[in-house]
């Protein structure tokens, strides 16, 4: 049975002696410059410096992104693709420049392959709706994994109900690693699409997607990669991977909320039907029928999120200047350190692979007998932001046999000192609960 903080008799965090704060090391100094770029990292929460470890939910934003949005509204605000006036042209070229920047960021051959949506969820729904509704027939199969986020499950549930397709799942083992020995029996000529996450948001597992893409293509199936947790953290090259679709979100990679990206191979985007109808996506319209524009505009009905897309462009600039390889290296080192430190604590159960080479900067854990929400609440009192719950992966949690986990997720601006402080504060959680149990 887990103890619930809301059931009473539990001392406040202030009743427990203060843990000493760890002095900043050289590593932290090197990253001070980076941290200075993020105004929110200077905040105090309950009088303590914010330690933001909820980057898998959304990342923080540098000045340059915040400024790009403000500058756009102050100088260039206009609707795009329709006006003939100066501002409309300026806004259109700024918006379309981000499409080119996005294509370059993921090494897409053609910027017409980049569709802007509201978020990663909408990007996956777009692929399911526009490709799946047109091309799937009863009896066709889609192969997913047991570790998918709800965003990469529910759109396929819709198609299962509507089109009579079947869903199959690659299982994962006790370490949270996909069991690829099952692939030969799961993949067949009936498999039309394999849709899977590159990095699990609940386990941190980095999946061997290149190998899976090759196996799927051998059977004639397409592959959609959910890159929500990978594109922000490591270099992704769609041509090298040869994936057919890639979905991700701006807000997890320094950009604003309200912008998602679907990359698709151009021949697929040309063959698929539109997702939504309305202004901007048409060629000609009569009262009773219409013809459509070319991709990407065919998929971008109505006025898009212009300002935030331009903000996303500034985020891409920031990531390019920092270097995705550098970001990957920094996070790998932080994860190696965190996994080592966490595994030394016997009362902490850490989920996901032990090997930091296949474990991204997402540490999902439970403290024996303590509800993850209580862990999150007490850490919050220490100024530490983590996420607690099922992380939109209920089937995965069911398989782990838990209702949820506590989850600390890193970005390149996090430091080893912050990981140490997290561990010290976890000790405080134990003290609070052991104190309560003893009373």
Q: Is 102 in the site for ligand C6P (CB under 6 A)?
A: no
Q: How far apart are CA 292 and CA 143, in angstroms?
A: 31
Buried b (16+ CB within 10 A) or exposed e, 321-345: ebebeebbebbbebbebbbebbeee
Which of 121, 207, 330, 335 is the binder for ligand C6P (CB under 6 A)?
A: 121
Q: Are 409 and 361 in contact (CB under 8 A)?
A: yes
Q: Is 149 in the site for ligand C6P (CB under 6 A)?
A: yes
Q: Which stretch binds ligand C6P (CB under 6 A): 118-126, 138-146, 166-174, 422-430?
A: 118-126
Q: Is 226 in the site for ligand C6P (CB under 6 A)?
A: yes
State the minimum distance, in angstroms, from the CB of residue 196 to ligand C6P. Answer: 10
Q: How far apart are CA 159 and CA 170, in angstroms?
A: 19
Q: How far apart are CA 111 and CA 115, in angstroms?
A: 9
Q: Are 267 and 280 in contact (CB under 8 A)?
A: no
Which of 120, 215, 243, 339 is the binder for ligand C6P (CB under 6 A)?
A: 120
Q: Which stretch binds ligand C6P (CB under 6 A): 104-112, 226-234, 266-274, 297-305?
A: 226-234
Pairing of strands 245-249, 222-226: parallel
Q: Is 146 in the site for ligand C6P (CB under 6 A)?
A: no
Compute the C-alpha angle 370/376/381, nearest 5°. 115
State the minimum distance, in angstroms, from the CB of residue 248 to ligand C6P. Answer: 8
Q: How many residues bind ligand C6P (CB under 6 A)?
A: 17
Which of 56, 165, 186, 378 is the binder for ligand C6P (CB under 6 A)?
A: 56
State the minimum distance, in angstroms, from the CB of residue 425 to ligand C6P. Answer: 20
Chain positions 361 to 390 lying near ligand C6P, rule: CB under 6 A, are: 387
Q: Which is nearer to ligand C6P, 123 or 187 (CB)?
A: 123
Contact map string, positions 393 to 422, toward ligand C6P, x by CB under 6 A:
------------------------------
Compute the C-alpha angle 160/165/168, nearest 5°. 90
Q: Is 112 in the site for ligand C6P (CB under 6 A)?
A: no
Q: Which is nearer to ligand C6P, 119 or 330 (CB)?
A: 119
Q: Which stretch binds ligand C6P (CB under 6 A): 119-127, 165-173, 278-286, 420-428?
A: 119-127
Q: Which residues pair with 290 in a beta bridge?
A: 285
State the minimum distance, in angstroms, from the CB of residue 242 to ligand C6P. Answer: 21
Catalytically annotated residue among 206, 307, 392, 400: 392
Q: How far apart are CA 117 and CA 245, in angstroms?
A: 14
C-alpha atoms less than 13 angstroms from C-alpha of 3 in its C-beta half-sphere: 19
Q: Is 119 in the site for ligand C6P (CB under 6 A)?
A: yes
Extended strands (E) in 187-299: 191-197, 222-226, 245-249, 260-264, 282-285, 290-292
296 conformational bin, left if phi > 0, alpha if psi -120 to 50, beta if neither = alpha
Residue 70 CB coordination number (10 Å): 12
Q: Is 117 in the site for ligand C6P (CB under 6 A)?
A: no
For the chain, what is the total number of helices (H) and then of strands (E)?
A: 16, 17
State the minimum distance, in angstroms, from the CB of residue 119 to ligand C6P. Answer: 3
Buried b (16+ CB within 10 A) or exposed e, 84-93: eeeebebbbe
Q: Are 49 and 414 in contact (CB under 8 A)?
A: no
Q: Which is nearer to ligand C6P, 83 or 389 (CB)?
A: 389
Q: Is 228 in the site for ligand C6P (CB under 6 A)?
A: yes
State the minimum distance, in angstroms, from the CB of residue 363 to ligand C6P. Answer: 13
392 tagged catalytic: yes
Q: Are 113 and 298 in contact (CB under 8 A)?
A: no
Q: How far apart are CA 195 and CA 215, in angstroms?
A: 13
Q: Is 359 in the site for ligand C6P (CB under 6 A)?
A: no
Q: Which stretch binds ligand C6P (CB under 6 A): 19-27, 113-121, 157-165, 295-303?
A: 113-121
Which of 57, 87, 266, 282 is the binder for ligand C6P (CB under 6 A)?
A: 57
Which of 92, 145, 201, 207 is the binder for ligand C6P (CB under 6 A)?
A: 201
Chain positions 166 to 195 lying near ligand C6P, rule: CB under 6 A, are: none
State the minimum distance, in angstroms, from the CB of residue 316 to ligand C6P. Answer: 16
Identify the helix (H) or strand (E) that includes residue 329: helix 324-343
Interface ranges with ligand C6P (CB under 6 A): 56-57, 119-121, 149, 151-152, 197, 201, 226, 228-229, 249, 387, 391-392
Active site residues: 392
């Amino acid at each position: 049975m887990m103890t619930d903080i809301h059931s009473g008799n539990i001392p406040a965090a202030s009743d427990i002696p203060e843990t000493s704060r760890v002095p900043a090391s050289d590593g932290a100094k090197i990253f001070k410059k980076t941290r200075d770029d993020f105004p929110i990292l200077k905040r105090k929460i309950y009088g303590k410096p914010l330690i933001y470890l909820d980057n898998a939910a959304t990342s923080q934003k540098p000045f340059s992104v915040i400024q790009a949005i403000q500058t756009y509204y102050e100088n260039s605000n206009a609707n795009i693709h329709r006006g003939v006036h100066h501002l409309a042209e300026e806004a259109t070229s700024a918006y379309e420049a981000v499409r080119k920047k996005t294509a370059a960021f993921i090494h897409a051959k053609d910027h017409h392959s980049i569709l802007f949506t509201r978020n990663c969820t909408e990007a996956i729904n777009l692929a399911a709706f526009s490709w799946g509704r047109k091309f799937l027939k009863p009896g066709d199969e889609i192969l997913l994994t047991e570790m998918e986020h709800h965003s990469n499950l529910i759109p396929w549930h819709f198609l299962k109900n509507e089109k009579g397709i079947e869903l199959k799942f690659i299982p994962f083992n006790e370490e949270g690693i996909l069991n690829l020995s099952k692939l030969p029996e799961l993949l067949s000529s009936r498999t039309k699409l394999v849709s899977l996450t590159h990095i699990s948001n609940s386990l941190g597992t980095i999946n061997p997607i290149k190998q899976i893409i090759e196996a799927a293509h051998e059977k004639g199936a397409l592959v959609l990669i959910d890159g929500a947790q990978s594109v922000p953290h490591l270099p992704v090259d769609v041509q090298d991977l040869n994936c057919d679709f890639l979905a991700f979100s701006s807000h997890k990679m320094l950009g604003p909320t309200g912008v998602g990206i679907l990359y698709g191979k151009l021949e697929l985007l040309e063959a698929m039907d539109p997702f939504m109808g309305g202004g901007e996506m048409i060629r000609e319209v009569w009262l009773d029928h219409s013809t459509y524009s070319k991709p990407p505009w065919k998929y971008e009905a109505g006025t898009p999120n212009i300002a935030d897309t331009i903000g996303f462009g500034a985020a891409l600039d920031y990531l390019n200047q920092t270097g995705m390889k550098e970001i990957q290296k920094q996070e790998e080192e932080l994860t190696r350190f965190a996994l080592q430190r966490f595994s030394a604590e016997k009362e902490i159960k850490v989920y996901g692979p032990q090997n930091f080479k296949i474990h991204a900067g997402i540490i999902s854990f439970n403290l024996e007998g303590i509800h993850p929400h209580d862990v999150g609440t007490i850490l919050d009192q220490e100024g530490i932001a983590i996420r607690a719950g099922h992380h939109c992966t209920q089937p995965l949690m069911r398989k782990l046999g838990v209702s949820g986990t506590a989850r600390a997720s890193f970005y390149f601006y996090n430091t080893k000192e912050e990981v140490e402080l997290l561990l010290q504060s976890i000790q405080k959680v134990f003290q609070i609960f052991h104190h309560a149990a003893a009373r």
